Amino acid sequence: MTSRRDFFAVNAGALLASALPRAASANTKTFPYAEFEQRIARKDFRDITKDVLPTPSMVVDIDMFEKNIKTMADYGKSAPILMRPHVKVHKSVDIAKRQVAMGAVGVTTATIAESELMSGAGIKGVLWTKQPASHNNIIRSINLTKRDPTFMFVVDSANVADWVEEAAAAAKVKCRVAVSVFAGLKRQGIENGQPAVNLAKRIASSKHMKLEGFMAYSGDASHTKTFAARRKRTAMDLAGVQETVALAKKSGLPGDIVSGGSTGTYNMDKDFGLTELECGSYVFMDSAYQRVGGKSNDEVYTDFENSLTVLVTVDHKLHPNLVTTDYGNKAMAKPTDMVKGMPWLNVINQGAEYGGLTWKDGGGEIKVGDRLDIYCSNLDTSTNCYDRYYIAKGNQIVDVWPIMGRSGAAQR
């Protein structure tokens, strides 16, 4: 517990500090906050630097981001392996369009709403990786197929295949379907071998579905620590998939699309039979991926840069070894997050709009008003909490991209 003496010692320091927050530059006094939203809408970024942004805010370092999408695109071309990046990580049409411009054959989605969003923005080759098992999802999949015949989705159950066939027949459309097969992650994927091939045959012989191939997401391999262990896990989790694809081809079924993979396993998946990659996190990276280790370093994964940070403000400093920030539960603060450049700091939750940073020794240089950059732990859930990415070139904001396919009634 903080003693009375400790408490006043810390506060005396704070009172002696400068009257202005350290990060507040001269333009914070004159910056026209009343015009902020209109300026953003007009893309008029004069004077909009990281210093004046409201916090917590998501900021993307454009140089690192562009390097990441180029690294992955270049890998795809050299391997070669097709790219169909997962958009649930960023939920941004602006980013998806950049990925397609760099050679992606389409995008992968987690929900029908994300699929509608991406297809509606003109992106062809959307692959939805969850089967439509509800009335809502079946009808919307059929309707999306009508509007966009390049849309594909997966199925791992004969019942769902029959429901889709019935609805597609009624709507007079032909749906493009891939069989989702088990790749180590128990949440989805039909058993490999004959059960998967039987489902593939059922789809291929139907009138209103076209079999496109297979989807096999080896999600347990993606975050396995160390490159060697990850490769071993990938080999194990994709062994059954390879057998299934071979069996399917033997039966005359198409096996051209074998989609799967992740940021953690992108440079090994091709060796185990995948023909295209659904990697998503590589555009931004998060603290979980930083820790999985890479080919040349077992501790840190350096293939891609941490281009996304959450900018936060230190609001209170009243107790030893603790500051309070505005990065709380609503901003998806997690104890596994990391502070850029200050690995000795621990992130803690203190309430809906309150977070904190603690440290064992040192750390006294952090002051009220300081602005810090946080690497979040899980991109999918964090990006879901914010409305926009502020795109930064150094300290200057140069663009704003909306985060669109988020949760909410319209997104279900």
Residues that bind ligand PLP (CB under 6 A): 86, 89, 108, 129, 217, 219, 222, 262-264, 278-281
Q: Which is nearer to ligand PLP, 50 or 130 (CB)?
A: 130
Sorted by sequence, the CB contacts under 8 Å of residue 45 that are 6+ apart come out as 39, 396, 397, 398, 399
> Distance (Å, rounded) from C-alpha 305 to C-alpha 66?
10
In the complex, least distance from residue 366 CB atom to ligand PLP, rounded to whole angstroms: 32
In the complex, least distance from residue 283 CB atom to ligand PLP, rounded to whole angstroms: 9
- CA-based R_g, the chain, Å: 24
> Distance (Å, rounded) from C-alpha 267 to C-alpha 363?
38
In the complex, least distance from residue 281 CB atom to ligand PLP, rounded to whole angstroms: 3
Runs of H (alpha helix) within 107-213: 112-120, 135-147, 158-171, 194-204
In the complex, least distance from residue 298 CB atom to ligand PLP, rounded to whole angstroms: 19
> Are the C-beta atoms of 165 and 209 separated by less than 8 Å?
yes
Neighbours of 137 (CB within 10 A): 22
390's tokens: 């502020």
Q: Which is nearer to ligand PLP, 279 or 347 (CB)?
A: 279
Q: Which is nearer to ligand PLP, 86 or 231 (CB)?
A: 86
> Distance (Å, rounded) from C-alpha 164 to C-alpha 171?
10
Q: Which is nearer to ligand PLP, 72 or 311 (CB)?
A: 72
Q: Which is nearer to ligand PLP, 55 or 281 (CB)?
A: 281
Q: Which is nearer to ligand PLP, 278 or 303 (CB)?
A: 278
Q: How far apart are the first and last CA of the chain?
A: 46
Strand pairing class (322-325; 82-83): unpaired
Q: Which is nearer to ligand PLP, 262 or 313 (CB)?
A: 262
Q: Which is nearer to ligand PLP, 84 or 317 (CB)?
A: 84
Sorted by sequence, the CB contacts under 8 Å of residue 221 that are 6+ apart come out as 184, 230, 233, 234, 237, 262, 264, 265
| Residue 396, Ramachandran bin (φ over 0: left; ψ between -120 and 50: alpha; else beta) | beta
> Are the C-beta atoms of 407 and 387 separated by less than 8 Å?
no
> Distance (Å, rounded) from C-alpha 64 to C-alpha 94?
16
Q: Which is nearer to ligand PLP, 55 or 383 (CB)?
A: 383
> Distance (Å, rounded) from C-alpha 42 to C-alpha 375?
29
Strand pairing class (152-155; 126-128): parallel
| Angle between the N-to-C axes of helices 158-171 and 135-147, in degrees from 0 to 180, rounded to the nearest 10 | 50
Task: Report the candidate in 290, 275, 279, 307 with the shortest Cα–Cα distance to residue 373.
Answer: 307
156's tokens: 């791992």
